[in-house]
Amino acid sequence: MSTLLEMSGVSVSFDGFKAINNLSFRIGEPELRAIIGPNGAGKTTFMDIITGKTKPDEGRVLYGEKSLSLLKMSESQIARVGVGRKFQKPTVFEAQTVRENLAMALKNPRGPFDVLLYKKTAEGAARIEALAEEIGLTAELTRPAGELSHGQKQWLEIGMLLAQEPRLLLVDEPAAGMTPTEREHTTDLLRRAAEKHAVVVVEHDMEFVRRLDCKVTVLHEGSVLAEGSLDHVTQNQQVIDVYLGR
């Protein structure tokens, strides 16, 4: 398992408030990692930093074999080198159909002229069908995404993430708004993705995390409080105090 992403000594403050405090983190490929922590621990901000949405005040974020510095890259460049993200609040293109949403995410050249001259291919169509099947939206392919339920939008986001075929998948609270069966399906899906790629999952739901059956990182006040197996971290007194005990 080689290191895919390495973050070291990263800090971010918003108006003097340190949301991320000297955070270090590394993930290999393939690897599945769960991140837990109380509200406001900085989990989403952590993903914002990797994807280029938030620029940290200090620290390094290195990615891939060539150790690219993600901090020097724009959001779209970061996405193109293989970092994909599912947002905490599902943000799909509501005015466009499920199919259009998936097609936009599909791994293909991203330049304006590539896209202008893009011709639909049978493979692309098949890939969309397969993804729709996977996320249970086959019947909704022609519906505008804005009509979907919250849970379906979550699925669409997951589908768009998979469509990009990223090497590093950042998945922020995938299970919110899902039924127990759907949650099981989601864990299966993430574990399957983690057979080849690096997957980071943020979740509050302990059962969900238990089923992921992977190494867990506990974030608190912007830095790592504990790291290890779920049983290991849940026995940690500090973790119980700040997160589980409430």
Partner 1 sequence: MKQGLLSRNPSILWFLAALGLFTLGITVLSEATGTGLISTSFVKTLGKTLCLCLIAIAMDVVWGYCGILSLGHFAFFGIGGYAIGMWLMYARTEAIVAESLAASPIPPTAQEIIDATGTQIFGVVGSSDFPLIWAFSHSLTLQLLMVLLFPGLLALVFGWLAFRSRVTGVYLSILTQAMTLALSLYLFQNDSGLRGNNGLSGLQNIPGFEAVPQSQISIAFFWASALALGLGYVLFAYVTSGKMGSVVRGIRDNEGRVRFLGYHVESYKLFVFTITAIVSGIAGALYYPQAGIINPAEIAPIASIYLAVWVAIGGRGRLYGAVIGAAFVSLLSSWFTGGGAPDIPLGFYTIQWVDWWLILLGLSFVAVTLFFPKGIGGLFDYLTHVKTPFRVGDYGPDKGALRQEEGHEQ
Q: Is 190 in the site for partner 1 (CB under 8 A)?
A: no
Site for partner 1 in 52-81 (CB under 8 A): 53, 74-77, 79-80
Using left for φ > 0, alpha for ψ between -120 and 50, and beta otherwise, residue 143 falls in beta
CB under 5 A: which stretch of 71-79, 80-88, 134-142, 234-242 binds Mg ion?
A: 80-88
Pick one of 32, 44, 145, 166: the residue that binds ligand ATP (CB under 6 A): 44
Q: Is 119 in the site for partner 1 (CB under 8 A)?
A: yes
Side by side, which strands form the sheet with 198-202?
83-86, 168-172, 198-202, 31-36, 215-220, 223-228
Pick one of 55, 72, 150, 196: the residue that binds partner 1 (CB under 8 A): 150
**Among 147, 28, 24, 31, residue whose Cα is nearest residue 94:** 147
Q: Which is nearer to partner 1, 187 or 217 (CB)?
A: 187
Which stretch of DSSP H or E encloses residue 17? strand 17-29
Say how many residues touch Mg ion, by CB under 5 A: 3
Under DSSP, the state recorded for 144 is B
* The token pair that represents 3 in the structure block: 């290191």
Site for Mg ion in 181-200 (CB under 5 A): none
CB under 8 A: which stretch of 16-24, 62-70, 117-125, 232-240 binds partner 1?
A: 117-125
